[in-house]
Amino acid sequence: MPVLRPNPVVLPSWPCGRNATFLIQTDALRCLRRIWPRRTIRLGDFVKIRSTFLSPVLLLIAVATALPAHARFAQPPPCKNAFTPDREITEGKKAAAQVYKEMPVLPDSNPVTQYVQQLGAKLVQFAPGYAWPYSFHVVNQADINAFALPGGPIFVNLGTIQAAETEAQLAGVMAHEISHVVMRHATCNITKQQGQAPWWALGQLAAGVLLPGAGGAIAAEGVGAAAGMTFLKMGRDAEKQADLMGTDIAYDAGYDPRGMVQFFEIIQGKYGQGGTQFLSDHPNPGNRTEYVNAEIATLPPRTQWVKTTPEFQKIHKLVTSMHAYSAKEISSGAWKGHSANAPPATAASNPGSFEPNGQWTMLDGAGFSVQYPANWQAVEKAGVGATIAPQNGVVATATDGNTVIYGLIIDDFQPQQASDIGSATRQLIASIQQGNSGMKATTDVDEIRVNQRDARSIEFENQGASAGGGTEHDWLVTVARDDGSLSYMVFVAPQKDFETLRPVYEQMLRTFRVKS
């Protein structure tokens, strides 16, 4: 049967905001997937588009005789996610800016970066769901790895391009990372970690809620940016999902969909299971080759695939002659002055003063409410809890990731057995000090009342916990809940600034209310 090429469809005002003229099999399909991210859009479907900008248009997505419907990977239901898409995009940009600071990222003018950006642009045309603002970057690092940040930034190590034998293999790796963005795996991980992590480990904003991944971007051994971002270490379910969706994206873009699993097999054969950071961050869910081949079997058969291109061969020849920095060289900073600065669009904003502006706003959280300065930022934890901090209240450190140096941490604590508030508070303090060896009490545990509820108050000094190794002052307040658990607050500031902020913290405490 001859291949029939559809005529361009012209619409006066296409709701996706792109050029109104396109071929249905490319831009139109992607646009429809943006409009209905939960619907499977296939060739052969009839789709009626109703828009506030258009009178109803009946769009036939088929040519001549329609292809039969084929079963494809069905995107799983959305995870419980504490991030809105806009928030996810903002935090992903902040994390990308931190990668530029910590890693030797090639400039956009570099031909390798330009090639990867062109390949990425081709692939994301076929990414389903929300239209994330994808961007593609190359890290001049010898280690084989690639990672996707929340909201669309994707980084590919030079070592990955050097290791790939065909463009289909590199496209498969990039389609895999695009799939992590589509399914929001990074922020799903952050949300999950918030629910499980010990928020009583003072100073830590669990999994980098305000600045995901910023700080700790280079681990102690300098193994690379992705190593310090715990939310990028995917579970086996997420890996399988990204494998299957990535296979479909590569297929839709015209590539041999076996390229991705071929790349994984090459790396595993060369280094062994778990022998590289790439395999550590992208664990084999088991039977990877088998389930990818099963997915390929569900796709409409093709007589020709794109396996490689002259552009890939040219770039591959170039990268094999380039010096890619080792982990040790990156750790020593030998690359600095020879790499790109963060693009203005992703640069971190200039931190402001921690002092309140005199205006207050309300956070109506799950299980509590509290007022806080209007120029501070509140981020709710999945379940119960929040962090409230001024713009410069969370900083990146090389060892601890993102650390709260000014602000308030709110969370719940469930004692090991039913007890009174005094006993429960002592259990909480023991848990806190277990994870913070430099933390010493400077007051006794005082009995207080917080909006008609029994409460306890104690203050600490935490040597070396503040930014720059200074002393941190922490004020812990616990409030009894009806079920025997505690709501607790930790007010944090460097010791030199704590008394300046104490009136602000006291006002926040006066407004704190536990919901029954």
pLDDT value at residue 445: 94
Residue entry with tokens 């051994």: 221
Residue of 182, 157, 217 lying closest to 74 (CA atoms): 182
Give this prediction's pTM: 0.54
pLDDT value at residue 333: 74
108 vs 287, more confident: 108
Q: Could you read off the pLDDT of 345-357 as tens digits, one per residue?
A: 333 333 345 677 7
Same domain, 246 and 124: yes
State the SS3 of 183-207: CCHHHHHHHHHHHHCCCCCCCECCC
Mean pLDDT for all residues in the chain: 74
Average pLDDT over residues 231-254: 87
Same domain, 152 and 225: yes
Cα separation of 322 and 412, whole Å? 52
Interior/surface letters 489-511, b for 16+ CB within 10 angstroms, e for the rest: bbbbbbbeebeebeebbeebbee
Say if CB 296 and CB 251 are below 8 A apart: yes
Same domain, 20 and 138: no
Say if CB 96 and CB 105 are below 8 A apart: no
pLDDT value at residue 338: 62
Same domain, 129 and 20: no
Say if CB 461 and CB 472 are below 8 A apart: yes
Domain that holds residue 369: 360-514
Same domain, 426 and 325: no
Same domain, 500 and 465: yes
Q: Could you read off the pLDDT of 18-40 as tens digits, one per residue?
A: 333 333 344 444 444 444 443 34
Same domain, 289 and 207: yes
Number of folded domains that form the chain: 3
Residue of 202, 201, 231 lying closest to 81 (CA atoms): 231
pLDDT value at residue 470: 73
437 lies in some domain: yes
79 lies in some domain: no
pLDDT value at residue 467: 54
Identity at 494, one-letter amino acid code: P
For position 439, which CATH number holds? 3.40.1000.10
pLDDT value at residue 158: 94
Task: Give the Å distances, CA to CA, from 225 to 120, 204, 232.
Answer: 20, 19, 10
352 vs 128, more confident: 128
Same domain, 331 and 371: no
Q: Could you read off the pLDDT of 147-168 as tens digits, one per residue?
A: 999 999 999 999 999 999 999 9
Average pLDDT over residues 176-194: 86
Is the pLDDT reported for residue 223 higher than 50? no
pLDDT value at residue 278: 58
Which of 280, 304, 337 corresponds to the end of one domain? Answer: 337
Q: Are strands 453-462 and 439-441 parallel, antiparallel or unpaired?
A: antiparallel
pLDDT value at residue 464: 61
Cα separation of 419 and 155, whole Å? 50
Same domain, 173 and 314: yes
242 lies in some domain: yes
Say if CB 391 and CB 380 are below 8 A apart: no
Which of 305, 337, 369 corresponds to the end of one domain? Answer: 337
Q: Are strands 360-365 and 46-51 parallel, antiparallel or unpaired?
A: unpaired
pLDDT value at residue 97: 85
Average pLDDT over residues 358-381: 88
* Alpha-helical segments (H) within 36-110: 85-102
Q: Which region, left, alpha or beta, applies to residue 279 given φ > 0 means left and ψ of -120 to 50 means alpha? A: alpha
254 lies in some domain: yes
A 10 A CB-CB count for 320 gives 10
Residue spans of beta strands (DSSP E) within 242-319: none
Helix 167-182 and helix 259-271: axis angle, to 10°? 100
65 lies in some domain: no
**Sorting pLDDT into bands at 50, 70 and 90, what band is 285?**
low
**Sorting pLDDT into bands at 50, 70 and 90, what band is 449?**
very high
Is the pLDDT reported for residue 212 higher than 90? no
pLDDT value at residue 114: 94
123 lies in some domain: yes
pLDDT value at residue 466: 58
pLDDT value at residue 48: 33
68 lies in some domain: no
Residue of 170, 144, 176 lying closest to 259 (CA atoms): 170
Same domain, 392 and 333: no
Q: Could you read off the pLDDT of 58-111 as tens digits, one per residue?
A: 343 333 333 333 447 888 888 888 888 888 888 888 888 888 888 899 998 899
Same domain, 272 and 390: no
Is the pLDDT reported for residue 310 higher than 90? yes
Cα separation of 391 and 398, whole Å? 20
Residue spans of beta strands (DSSP E) within 153-311: 153-157
SS3 209: coil
Is the pLDDT reported for residue 17 higher than 80? no
Which of 337, 368, 388 corresponds to the end of one domain? Answer: 337
**Sorting pLDDT into bands at 50, 70 and 90, what band is 337?**
low
353 vs 516, more confident: 516
Average pLDDT over residues 360-386: 85
368 lies in some domain: yes
Same domain, 285 and 176: yes
pLDDT value at residue 365: 85
